[in-house]
Amino acid sequence: MQLSLDLPMCAVVSDEFTAEQAAAIGRREERLIVTANAGSGKTRVLTERFVRSCIDDGIDPSAILAITFTEKAAGELRERVRSRFVELGRRDLAQATEAAWVSTIHGFCMRVLKANAVTAGLDPAFEVLDEGDARALRAAAFERALAAWLGVEDAVAVSSGTAALHLGVRALDWGEGDEVLTSPFSFVASANCLLYEHARPVFVDVEEETLDLDPAAAAAAVGERTVGLLPVHIFGYPAAMPALEELATRHGLGILEDACEALGAVDSEGRKVGARGNLATFAFYANKQMTTGEGGMIVPRDGDEAARLRSERNQGRAVDMGWLDHDRLGFNYRLSDLAAALGVAQVEKLDSLLTRRAAVARMYEERLAGIEGLRTPVPGSGSEVRSWFVYTVRLPQGADRDATIARLAERGIASKAYLPCIHLFPNLRELGYREGQFPVAEAASAESLALPFFPAMSEAQVDRVCQELAAALGQAPLPA
């Protein structure tokens, strides 16, 4: 049976559309064909005329982000479908329509758009519409773009770097009674993601120069309960992954790379961080190398793992399941379609963003060389290349960091102590950690100062920061 209904429909289109095209679609009133499948008890919304009208107007339907209805139109359509089911004696379908129509209509439209594009003779480039979620179209485009940039098979978009880490811990089945070796010199999410699953973070010290996890210290800390390694590529510097992987192989340990600060870094073997075949996570908060406002990505090891990650980010619903069907524990870790659209645009200019950040870092290094006792971050060594996330210096021995921050603030320059050692946070002290256990990490934490850093920073701005830092430390003005 088919019911033909005339109702207004609007399309949310991408920024690739012209304003005129968007306006034309917004004004259009389309006929919707509603087909009820009595055997399965599901209602599908077909949008063939809409697809054909796009073709007639020279618009590629594969660029459509989502199809949605006004609340009034959705309610009218739901009631007319429900009434028709009552007339046909199918009160079961009428009740299901009344209960579920509004929540399902968005996903149905997106799934069926793919089928109708094929019917219209197109080869649609939006395979992910089977996820039944409108945001999946842009999320998948973002996933494909970043995976291609990294040189990996797949990547799974999520709502934050923390969400990516949490799903990674679950994918490795780390949990109650397990111990995972990780860095105390990190943002707290790299420990929290373990605590979420009742695994224990076992901190080990870091290397003096890179501030990344020290492989020798990690090797010495392996115990009977150790199940994995969670190295953090801190401040964008690649961790010693070959040595850590050798350690993991020797002891049968899993690896989850926290690359949330290291998009674009290159390791000692010339590979992009995140492309070594381990689970690896990235983050796109506003201060990262590229941003989606908030967001994250996790690189899976294989297709089965990717499917699990996509299910768990979406409340435990597999890609081929209905709107309200769930077969595992999951979370609301989906990336919004707006954030994903930003991500696609950011990947397109990621190389230039990284180049510009590196240029600002070089300006800092050149100017700060004149400050006695100040240690600047190493840009790389051999094949290793830092991806510049922040620009953090280590103050001269004996310098008063708090006073330095205050003096810079008086001159209108923001700076920050960065980072605190997370093993000294109150909830982690409860696990038995205390001052003095990790001297390299604690020294770096006590001396580090983050300076203003962003891609558009000019040479004059860098020079002003450096001059004011020299003055705050009581040193002579730097040469012009």
Give catalytic residue positions. 288
Residue among 263, 328, 252, 321 at smallest CA distance from 292:
263
Burial of 458 (0-12, 13-18, 19+ CB in 10 A): exposed
CB 382 within 8 A of CB 240: no
Instruction: Spell out the alpha helix ranges (H) of 235-349.
Output: 241-251, 303-313, 337-348
Residue 417's SS3 state is strand
Phi, psi angle pair for 66, to nearest 5°: -165, 155
**Cα 395 from chain centroid (whole Å):** 32
Residue 194's SS3 state is helix
For the chain, what's the residue count?
480
Strand-pair partners of 34: 3, 45
Strand-pair partners of 156: 298
Instruction: Spell out the alpha helix ranges (H) of 252-395.
Output: 303-313, 337-348, 350-368
For 54, the enclosing helix (H) or strand (E) is helix 48-56
With tokens 């963003």, the residue in question is 353
With tokens 């499917």, the residue in question is 307
CB 20 within 8 A of CB 58: no
Residue 4's SS3 state is strand
Phi, psi angle pair for 200, to nearest 5°: -105, 125
Look at phi and psi of residue 251 and say left if phi exceeds 0, alpha if psi is from -120 to 50, else beta.
Answer: alpha
How far apart are alpha carbons 145 and 347 in whole angstroms?
Answer: 7
Helix, strand, coil tally for the chain in percent (to 5): 45, 20, 40
CB 299 within 8 A of CB 274: yes
Measured from the Cβ of residue 52, the count of other Cβ atoms closer than 10 Å reads 17
How far apart are alpha carbons 64 and 61 in whole angstroms?
Answer: 5
Instruction: Name the amino acid, one letter, at 18.
Output: T
Instruction: Count the helices and strands in the chain (H runs, E runs).
Output: 16, 17
